[in-house]
Structure 1
């Protein structure tokens, strides 16, 4: 994807407070990357190289990848894995899959095997402990998968234990309010790609307009029937949000679909953990 359509890479830096964060984890740095859509069209080699170099520059304690490595055909994952092999992280690299990583029946296994071969830990309804039992890392199956059953995982954790959750689709934050989630990292939205300053993502504006059109009118026009595009909660399209008692951060992703990005640059996120 030409840089004129995607815009320059943006490095977003923020501090996230976590109640009960152990002293040993104060100041730990996480890097999040998401939605590569590495298929020869939606992510340039130059943009990918800049993202990897930016991540390494921060010498992160943990690198977290939140899905959609390819678009349809899983074959490009093998080339992407060679690029991602350059990522550096003190405590490892962890990943979850997105809906595009499940496009074909063999997609999940091919993508998982390729990422695993370069040392990336792919979590599919799994709990990992990169820093020990004091801060579990939960990786959920994609929201659209039949295997999306977060309760079986979340109920294994002590409610007094802080935790970070990786879940590709930010809509899951609504359901996950049933449990303590100190920080949920998601992608999927590409930030909305087209942002109207003062109004928000184009598709959020579309949703609001649809809500004001009478149901009888929408039924007569097929193009107006669809209530939700990509996600339901477009108000969570990007950035840090409070969802009940939980915190959600949505990364704008690196890949770009046509017609391109407007006021919504591709993103690498650097998060510093702080106690509360």
Structure 2
């Protein structure tokens, strides 16, 4: 009788799944999410940004940022069109495009420009180029965007006017290809006015801070694309190299968008694509 009970008890025990198999299953699930789900989980990131020198007449100004489109076989028309529709639905005052519209293939430049031409903002659409645009054909991308009515800023700036007030809106060419000229982009600005800078590569931040720029919009990093770590260290401090989100250097703030597309491998993990809405607010 005792031996029969022991046999039944043993029969009820479910053998533990070997740890290597559990690890393999978890890894396959993560890989599937990274390849087939997360690259298409487009999200709107909303942030309020307090700026000391923002004219009070512009309090609440809405900027929508799109970056790193990388229109290609991996970031197709449907995904780009969805991002355009999402951007327009946010009713922006300004749309800022911060580079890398294509990856390497020239044939994707024209359809990407056409889709960017559907963007609508009360006060215009402004763009800078990224390293992949240069590696593909910078002149072609620039001409196509300008034909769609998009203001492409190549180491230049302008006085942006709205509601009877103004600030300096500037854009620099890409740092990685050695064409960034921040002093030229800020030439003509006044020392006391707010300065907003579009720059594909966030490495410009320190130079922008020294030049008195108030706010920088950047991309380039894709947020890391595969994000295994937090942007903050165990001590709570922001890590030295900002890959995504809001950061600052002294009085200069920066927003680094995760962007839309991918490069190297068409995967994202812990780092979904985004359309960014930055609402500027007056602060003391």
Which residue pairs with 1:249 in the alignment? 255
Cα pair 1:34 1:254 within 8 Å, conserved = yes
Q: Secondary structure at the match of 1:235?
A: coil
Please point out which of 36, 50, 54 is paired with 2:69: 36
The structure 1 segments of at least 4 consecutive aligned residues displaced by more than 6 Å after TM superposition are none
Task: Give distance in 1, aligned partners of 2:188 and 2:115.
Answer: 35
Give the count of matched residue pairs: 242
- Structure 1, unpaired ranges of 5+: 205-232
Which residue pairs with 2:278 in the alignment? 271
Cα pair 2:206 2:249 within 8 Å, conserved = yes
Which residue pairs with 1:109 in the alignment? 139
Cα pair 1:123 1:140 within 8 Å, conserved = yes
Which residue pairs with 2:37 in the alignment? 4
Q: Secondary structure at the match of 1:21?
A: coil
Q: Secondary structure at the match of 2:107?
A: coil
Under a length normalisation based on structure 2, what TM-score does the superposition of the two structures give?
0.79
Q: Secondary structure at the match of 1:113?
A: helix
Q: Secondary structure at the match of 1:196?
A: coil
Q: CA deviation at 1:5?
A: 5.0
Under a length normalisation based on structure 1, what TM-score does the superposition of the two structures give?
0.82
Farther off after superposition, 169-178 or 181-190: 169-178
Cα pair 2:113 2:141 within 8 Å, conserved = no
Task: Give distance in 2, aligned partners of 1:37 and 1:168.
Answer: 13
Cα pair 1:64 1:93 within 8 Å, conserved = yes
Cα pair 1:7 1:261 within 8 Å, conserved = no
Q: CA deviation at 1:147?
A: 3.0
Q: CA deviation at 1:242?
A: 1.1
Which of the two has higher C-alpha Rg? Answer: 2
Task: Give distance in 1, aligned partners of 2:131 and 2:100.
Answer: 7
Q: CA deviation at 1:3?
A: 4.6
Q: Secondary structure at the match of 1:48?
A: helix
Please point out which of 229, 232, 243 is paired with 1:237: 243
Write out per-residue CA displacement over residues 128-151 of structure 1, whole angstroms, 9 at most, x where no aligned residue: 233267211110011023432212
Which residue pairs with 1:100 in the alignment? 132
Q: Secondary structure at the match of 2:72?
A: coil
Does 2:69 correspond to 1:63? no
Q: CA deviation at 1:45?
A: 2.4
Which residue pairs with 2:17 in the alignment? none
Cα pair 2:242 2:256 within 8 Å, conserved = yes
Cα pair 2:145 2:152 within 8 Å, conserved = yes
